[in-house]
Structure 1
Amino acid sequence: RPGTGREDSSAPGPPSGAAGRSPAPCAVCPQLPGKKDLFIEADLMSPLDRIANVSILKQHEVDKLYKVESRPSLSASDQFCFLVRPRIRTMRYIADIINADKMSGRSRKYKIIFSPQKFYACEMVLEEEGVFGDVTCDEWSFYLLPLDEDIISMELPEFFRDYFLEGDHRWINSVARALQLLNSLYGPFSKAYGIGRCAKMSYELWRDLEEESEGEGQGRKPEIGNIFLMDRDTDYVTALCSQVVYEGLVDDTFRIKCGSVDFGPDVTSSDKSIKVLLNAQDKVFSQIRNEHFSSVFGFLSQKSRNLQAQYDRRRGMDIKQMKNFVSQELKGLKQEHRLLSLHIGACESIMKKKTKQDFQEMIKAEHSLLEGFDIRESTSFIEEHIDRQVSPIESLRLMCLLSITENGLNPKDYRSLKTQYLQSYGPEHLLTFHNLKRIGLLTEQSAGDTLTAMESKVSRLVTDRAAGE
C-alpha cells in the first residue's frame, strides 16, 4: 500500500491504470490487424475490465469474446488471440484448438499473451503438442492494479497455493518486479522490513534487480517511508476468523473480485444482476466499509432519511432554484439513492445467510478458541456445525482455527472430526485434508507434543533467526 491510507491526503496515490512494463492487451491488438476473436482466462476478465472494457476492445477490432475452457462455436475469424495465465492446462487447451483447425484444413493466425509473464514450461508444452511454430507470444506484465485510493493488488490468485502448498517459487520474480516498479514510481524506500522465507527471497531478488537496473528511482524524492513484507503463514489466524465489518461480510457472501462485486436479484429486487465497483468513490460504501455490521443498518436508515429530506427541499423552490437543483444535485442524489438501495439489499441478504449459520454462536466459539477457554464446548459446536451441513467451507475454517490455536488436534479429535466431515460432505475431501495437513493448517499432534500454539510459534521464530532466515 503506497502511502498511509485515507487519513493522509498527502500520501502518494496509486498509479493510474495497471502498472507494468509491457503493453496492455488492447495495445498488443494492433499487432494483429483486422478482426480477431479474443479468448480470456476467467481470472483475467476482471483485471482487464478495469483497464479496457468491451467497447475499447471492439475499437481494436475484437469481434467475439470467449472464456477460456469453453469451446468456441464455428468462427469465421482468421485470427485468434489468447489472453491467459501461464498454465499447462491452458496451453493444452490452445493446442487442441490449433490442432483441430489443422485437421479441418483451416488456416489462422494465433497469438498468445501471457500475464503476468511467460514461463519456459508453457513453451515446452506447445512444442510437445506440435504447435509452437504456429503461435506468436507476448507478455502483459501488469504487476500492480489499483483497486482503490490506498489499495494496489497484484491479482495473483495462484500465489498462495503454488508457493505455500506446492513449494513453487515461480511467482517470486513477479513480486520482486512489483517492488521494483513501486520503487521507480515513488522513489527509494527508506527501510524494508520482512518476516518469512518468501519475504526474504522477494526482497533479495528485488535488490538484485535494482542493482542490474542501476536504481531507476534513486534520483526521486522518497514518497514511501517503510515497506513491510509478510508471509501469509506467519498469521493464518486473522484470515480464519469470521468477518464482522461490512466489507468483509460482503466479500464472504458475494465474493469481491478485483474491487467489484456482483449483486444478484435478491439484492437488486429485480431479475437482473448488477456489477458494483466498491471503492472510495461509492459515497455510501466508503462510510460503512469498516463499520461493525451491527451498526450498519442504523447508519443506512439515517442515510435514507437524510436523502429523503434533501429530496423534500424541492417542494418550496421557485423555478430558478428548481433548475439549479435539477442541474447540480438531482443526478448525485439519484446515484446515492441507487447505491443506498443496493447496500440495504446486500445487508438483508447477509443477515439471512448469517442467521442460518448461527453467526453469534460461531463468533462465541471463535472467541473461546482464541482465548483458550471452553475448548471442548467449541469442539462440540464444530461437530454440530458439520453434522448439520451448514457450510463445508465454514466447517473447515473452524477446524483449522481449532488446530492452529491448539498447536494441532489430538489424534482422537482429529480422526473424529475428519470422519464426520467426510461423511457429511463426501469422501472427495480426503485430498483437502491431505493438503491442509501439508500446509500446516489442520494437523494432528504427535506423541509428546506439549507446546502451546504461542510457544510453538516463538520457538519457530527463534529457530529461523538462528538459521539466518
Structure 2
Amino acid sequence: MDVTLEKKLQGFQLVAQEKLQAILCSIPGKKELILEPELIKPLEHVCTASWLKLKGIQRIYKHDAKQRLPRADDQVHIYMIRSLLGTYQTLLRQLQPLAMQTSSESPDLELRAFHIICVPSCYAYFHALLEQAGLCGLVQLHHYNWDFIYLDQGVLSLELPNLYECLYLQGNSSALSAMAQSLRLLQMICGQPAVTLTFGNHSTQLMHLLQALGTVPQSPNPPDFGAWLIMDRDKDYVSTLLTPAIYAGLLLEVFQLRAGEIVVDNANNKIRTQKLHLLQGKTEYATNQGKPSCIRLNSACDEIYGDNRYKHFAQASSLVRAQVKALGLELQKLNDMQLEEMHDYVARKLPKLTELKAKVLRHLNASEIVIQMLGNFRRLQTLEEDILNNVSRKRLLTEIDELLTTDGQRYNTLRLLCLLHLCAGVAPEELQSFARNYCNMFGHRELCVFQQLAQAGLLPVLLPERKTSAKLLSNLPLPKFQQTEFQANANRLKLLTSCADAEQPAAAGSASGHPAIKSCPSFVFNGMYIPLAAQLCSMLLNATSSEQLATKLAMIEGLQVHVGAQASTPKAYAAHLKTASTENADVFPLRLRNLFVFVVGGANYAEIAACDFVSKLTGAQITIASDTLLAGSDLIAAAFNH
C-alpha cells in the first residue's frame, strides 16, 4: 500500500479537524471559545491555537465553574465541555442570567449568541434540561467526537477519562454509542477485519451497536487488520492492579497523565497526594524543586522515551544515567577544539545536543522521583506475587493492614485489597475489619467507596455488622473459599507463570537489582503474570485453525467470535465450519497478521508493552486503543468521585 497503517492512524487528526471546522464554520460572527480545562490537552492533538483563529475564534478562555463567565456584546460565545451531567448543569446555571440579558437587549442574536459543544455526545436529556432552564432557542447545542487520538506508535486513545466510572461504577452505558461511531470510522479507514473476538458484556454491546450502524462500504484496498480483539476492563482487572516493572508503566504510577503527556512534579505526584497528610512529609528535594516539567510519551518526539519505554525500570534508569555521563563527556570536547572546529561544532551539533540534554535531564529527574516514591517497591512486588499465588491469606491481610497504617496511601492500599479479593477472595468479616481501620484513618465519609468498588466487582458487598449472628456463625464450620473467576480463567489461559508451559523470567530479577529476563510477556510484571490481552493476541496469531483456538478458549464464558454478522462461541464457530459448505473458509490461520486491540474502560502500559513483545515475537503488528490510559491507582480513585 502507498499509505502505511501508522499514517492512516495519524490521519484521525485530519478527520477530527474537519468535524470541528464544520461546527465552527456553521456559527456566523466573531467567536470566543471557552474550554473546559480537561479538554485543552486532548484538543492540542487535534488543532493549534493558530488553526482556531483561522476558523474565526478571536479569543480562547478556560472555563471556570466558580467565576462569572466572560461576556462581550459583539462576540458569539462557544463553550466546549465534556458530556457530564454535573458540568452541563453548572454551565446552564451560569448561562441563565447572561442569555436572558442578551435576549432582552438584542432579540436578533437569540439563535447565535451562545453555543455549547458537548464532547463526545449530546444526549437527549441535555435538550430537555435546556428547555427546563428556559434557554431553549437562546443556547444552541452541538456534539463533537474527536475519535481516536494518536499518542504513540501503536497506541490510540479516545481520551474519555470518565468512561470507566460511567460504565462500571454507575452502570451508565450511554457513552458506548460514541465509542461505536469511532470504531466504525476506524473500519471505514482501515477496512473490516476477517474476525472479531469480544470478551465481556460491554464489548458484545459495542459489536451490536456497530452492526446497527450498518455495513461499511467496500474498499478496493485490502483491510489493514486481520482481526480485532475487544475486551472489557473487568475481565482483566489484575493487569491494572499489579504494579508494573517497566519504565512507562511506573511513570504513570507516579505522575499525572494528560493526553499522552506526564507532569514531572515531585510535590504533587500521585503517590504523595494520596498519602495521609501526617505521613506525607516534606523532603528537601521536593521543596527545592523548580517548576514542574513535562514529558511527552511519544517515541517520535522523545527518543529517550522511545528507547526505554518498554524496558525494565532498573535497566531504563541505568541507561538514562549512562546517557547523562556520555553527554557530559561530549560537551567536554569543546575544551580541546580549535577555533574553527568550535564554530562548526556550535553551529551544527551543539543545538541538537542541548535539546537532547534537556530531554535526558527530564527523564533523569523523573526516574529519581519514581525511585524515591516507590521506596518499598521490592516488598510490594513480593506481596503481589504472594497474592497472585494465594500464599497464606491471613498473613497477606495482616501485611495490607500494616501498609495501611505505616504507608497511609488512600488508593494503593485499597488496590492491594481488591487484588486479594480477585485472586483469593475476601470474606465479608475481613472486609468489615479493613473498612473500619480505613475509615478511622481517612474519615468515615469514605465508607461509600467500598460500595462503589463492590459495584465494579473489585470487592464483595460490605454488609452491616451483626454481633448476634456473628456469635452463632462462630460455632459453625466455615466453608473453604471457592475458586474465583480470575483463578479459573488464569489457569485455563495460563496467565500465571507458575502454570504456563513456556520458560518464564526469574521473578527475583528486580530484587537483585537486575532487570528480569525478557523471555515472555510476563516480563512487564517481573515474570509473575501475563496480561490477558497479550495472551489472547498470542492465541489469535498462533492459531492454525478455529478448532485449535476453540480448544484453547474452551470453558471461558463471555468470549464470542464475530465473523461477518454471525456471533458465536469459539467452540460453536469451529463446529459450524465442519458442517458448513466449503465456501465458508476458516479465517484461521490469519492471513493478515495485524491486530487491533480495544479495551473498554482504560488500558495500561503493561498491556501495551506485553502486546508489543508478542508482536515482535510473532512478526505481527498490534495496535492498542482504549478510552484512556490509566494506572491502578486511577482505577481506585474513580470510586472516590461521589
> 2:80 aligned with 1:83, yes or no?
yes
Match of 2:62 among 54, 58, 66: 66
Match of 1:372 in 2: 390
**Structure 1 letter corresponding to 2:90:** Y
Displacement of 1:238 after TM fit?
0.7
> 2:201 aligned with 1:197, yes or no?
yes
> 2:33 aligned with 1:16, yes or no?
no
**Structure 2 letter corresponding to 1:371:** N
- C-alpha distance after superposition, 1:107-159 (max 9, x if no partner): 67001112112111111111111102111222222111111121111111122
- Structure 1 Cα separation of the partners of residues 392 and 170 of structure 2: 35
- C-alpha distance after superposition, 1:296-351 (max 9, x if no partner): 33211211122223323444445554444333322211111001111111112122
Displacement of 1:376 after TM fit?
2.0
Structure 1 unaligned spans of 5+: 1-8
Q: Tell whether the 8 Å contact from 1:263 to 1:346 is kept in structure 2 after alignment.
A: yes
> 2:211 aligned with 1:207, yes or no?
yes
- Structure 1 Cα separation of the partners of residues 329 and 218 of structure 2: 51
4+ residue segments displaced more than 6 Å: 265-269, 465-469
Match of 1:403 among 421, 440, 445: 421
**SS at structure 2 position matched to 1:177:** helix
Match of 2:129 among 113, 117, 125: 125
> 2:33 aligned with 1:38, yes or no?
yes
Paired residue total: 455
- Bigger Cα displacement from structure 2, 246-255 vs 452-461: 452-461
> 2:356 aligned with 1:360, yes or no?
no
Pair 401,19 (structure 1): closer, same or farther in 2 beyond 3 Å: farther
Alignment of 1:36-435 (within 5 A): 36-58=31-53, 60-72=56-68, 75-76=71-72, 78-102=75-99, 109-211=113-215, 215-216=216-217, 218-264=219-265, 271-280=290-299, 281-318=301-338, 321-355=341-375, 358-388=376-406, 390-406=408-424, 408-435=425-452
- Structure 1 Cα separation of the partners of residues 243 and 338 of structure 2: 53
Higher relative contact order (CA 8 A, sep 6+): 2
Q: Tell whether the 8 Å contact from 2:196 to 2:227 is kept in structure 1 after alignment.
A: yes
Pair 254,120 (structure 1): closer, same or farther in 2 beyond 3 Å: same
Pair 205,24 (structure 1): closer, same or farther in 2 beyond 3 Å: closer
**SS at structure 2 position matched to 1:192:** strand
- Bigger Cα displacement from structure 2, 139-148 vs 107-116: 107-116
- C-alpha distance after superposition, 1:256-288 (max 9, x if no partner): 221011223769976323333221020111112
Pair 239,461 (structure 1): closer, same or farther in 2 beyond 3 Å: farther
Pair 285,12 (structure 1): closer, same or farther in 2 beyond 3 Å: closer
Match of 2:481 in 1: 450
- Structure 2 Cα separation of the partners of residues 152 and 455 of structure 1: 27
Displacement of 1:64 after TM fit?
4.1
- Structure 2 Cα separation of the partners of residues 205 and 173 of structure 1: 7
- Structure 1 Cα separation of the partners of residues 408 and 14 of structure 2: 42
Match of 2:519 in 1: none
**Structure 1 letter corresponding to 2:77:** F
- Bigger Cα displacement from structure 2, 106-115 vs 150-159: 106-115
Displacement of 1:185 after TM fit?
1.3
What is the TM-score of this pair, normalised by structure 2? 0.65
Structure 2 unaligned spans of 5+: 268-284, 464-477, 493-553, 561-566, 570-642
- Structure 2 Cα separation of the partners of residues 28 and 11 of structure 1: 28
**Structure 2 letter corresponding to 1:435:** Q
- Structure 2 Cα separation of the partners of residues 195 and 19 of structure 1: 31
Pair 113,461 (structure 1): closer, same or farther in 2 beyond 3 Å: farther
- Bigger Cα displacement from structure 2, 135-144 vs 34-43: 34-43
Q: Tell whether the 8 Å contact from 1:66 to 1:72 is kept in structure 2 after alignment.
A: no
**SS at structure 2 position matched to 1:325:** helix
- Structure 2 Cα separation of the partners of residues 82 and 193 of structure 1: 39
- Structure 2 Cα separation of the partners of residues 20 and 11 of structure 1: 16
- Bigger Cα displacement from structure 2, 264-273 vs 143-152: 264-273
**Structure 1 letter corresponding to 2:254:** T
**Structure 2 letter corresponding to 1:432:** V
Pair 361,31 (structure 1): closer, same or farther in 2 beyond 3 Å: same
- Structure 1 Cα separation of the partners of residues 120 and 353 of structure 2: 40
**SS at structure 2 position matched to 1:12:** helix
Q: Tell whether the 8 Å contact from 2:454 to 2:460 is kept in structure 1 after alignment.
A: yes
Displacement of 1:208 after TM fit?
3.0
**SS at structure 1 position matched to 2:166:** helix
Across the aligned residues of Structure 1 and Structure 2, the Cα RMSD in angstroms comes to 3.0
- Structure 1 Cα separation of the partners of residues 234 and 486 of structure 2: 16
- Structure 2 Cα separation of the partners of residues 455 and 101 of structure 1: 54
Displacement of 1:28 after TM fit?
3.5
**SS at structure 2 position matched to 1:429:** helix
Pair 89,62 (structure 1): closer, same or farther in 2 beyond 3 Å: farther
